Structure 1
Amino acid sequence: MENPQDRQYPTPRGTRRPAIARGWRLGAVAAVLAMAVSGSVAWAGADPQTRHQPLNPPDAPAAIGPYSQGISTGHMAFVSGQLPIDPATGRLLADASIEEQTQQVLRNVQAVLAADHLRLAQVVSTTVYLSNLDDFDRFNAAYAEFFTGEAPPARATVQVARVPKDVKVEISAIAVR
């Protein structure tokens, strides 16, 4: 037997939706309004804690384009893809091993997180771009030095045709306080 809630109702201009569809929409609107009144929903510009703030610490390499090294918003921080650049010298570690590049990239991720009073232990997800998946095991060993807890972040690792500046690895991260 067909469930009436699963039925698709056409709604040409000037006709009314069935009561079931109207009820769902009204219920959803009421729920959103209730959350807004209780403070569960952050409206753009309503609360300075929820606006996004750029994270551009001096102890992480400067962005190489029109983007922030990271963005802090509410309880989350988003770290842009970091490259193996030594922030003290500005030197790209282009000829370094995959292990050395990975270590420098993760130190840069740490520096961006620290600007928002966060640690690697608070990272919930990373995205890793490798120029060569043959380096995966060596990369993974260096990565594991930084994420040593019982709950390492979720991770996607992909091989790409090219990483900016022709380095071997780039890593972005999401952290939650």
Structure 2
Amino acid sequence: MPRQPIHTDLAPAAIGPYSQAVRAGNTVYLSGQTPIDPATGQLVEGDIRTQARRAFDNLKAVCEAAGGSFDDIVRVGLYVTDLGQFAEVNAVMADYFSQPYPARSTIEVSALPKGAAFEVDAVMVTG
């Protein structure tokens, strides 16, 4: 099955040898999105909630470029540099998703690109 790359200028450009997302059949694999402002290429300033909102907004833009929405996401991966901020991240996620919620993992990592405190990736099924 061929891979179809997905790209939008409304999310940060890939900073390595990968696509913002790839469609294989009716499944779309969305690469990790960090809190980078796509207009400036810079990390947004602010607390974990601000960073999470920017990353979810970036993910939403890629979902829409692939012809889907957050209602089509079946799995989400959250990556935080401080698991002590889980409650704040969880509250932001609740603003973006509705029931039935996607499956999810939350992983504390030692570092993220450009010094971000949060990253999100996802798998979406459309059609």
Which bracket does the TM-score occupy, shorter chain normalised? over 0.9
After TM superposition, list the pairs within 5 Å mapping 1:144-163 onto structure 2. 144-147=94-97, 149-163=98-112
From 80, 83, 101, the equivalent of 2:51 is 101
Following TM superposition, by how much is the alpha carbon of 1:108 offset from its aligned partner in structure 2, in angstroms? 0.6
Where 1:92 maps in the other structure, the secondary structure is: coil
Greater RCO, CA 8 A, separation 6+:
2
Name the structure where strand makes up a greater proportion of residues.
2
| One-letter amino acid of the counterpart of residue 135, structure 1 | Q
Give, in whole Å, the separation in 2 of the partners of 1:155 and 1:106.
14
Give, in whole Å, the separation in 2 of the partners of 1:162 and 1:92.
14
Following TM superposition, by how much is the alpha carbon of 1:89 offset from its aligned partner in structure 2, in angstroms? 2.1
Q: Deviations over 1:104-160 (max 9, x none)?
A: 10111111111111000100001111000011001111111001x221110000101
Matched residues, percent identical?
Answer: 38
Give, in whole Å, the separation in 2 of the partners of 1:100 and 1:152.
22
TM-score normalized with structure 2 length? 0.95
Give, in whole Å, the separation in 1 of the partners of 2:22 and 2:68.
12
From 68, 73, 94, the equivalent of 2:19 is 68
Give the match for residue 81 of structure 2.
Answer: 131
Where 1:104 maps in the other structure, the secondary structure is: helix
Give, in whole Å, the separation in 1 of the partners of 2:76 and 2:99.
16
Matched residue count: 126
Give the match for residue 41 of structure 2.
Answer: 90
Give the match for residue 4 of structure 2.
Answer: 53
| One-letter amino acid of the counterpart of residue 168, structure 1 | A
* Moved segments of 4+, more than 6 Å: none
Unaligned runs of 5+ in 1: 1-43, 45-50
Give, in whole Å, the separation in 1 of the partners of 2:40 and 2:68.
24
User: Is it true that 1:176 corresponds to 2:121 in the alignment?
Assistant: no
Give the match for residue 93 of structure 2.
Answer: 143
What value does the CA root-mean-square deviation take over the aligned residues? 1.0
Give, in whole Å, the separation in 2 of the partners of 1:126 and 1:174.
7
TM-score normalized with structure 1 length? 0.69
Give, in whole Å, the separation in 2 of the partners of 1:163 and 1:76.
26
Give, in whole Å, the separation in 2 of the partners of 1:61 and 1:54.
15
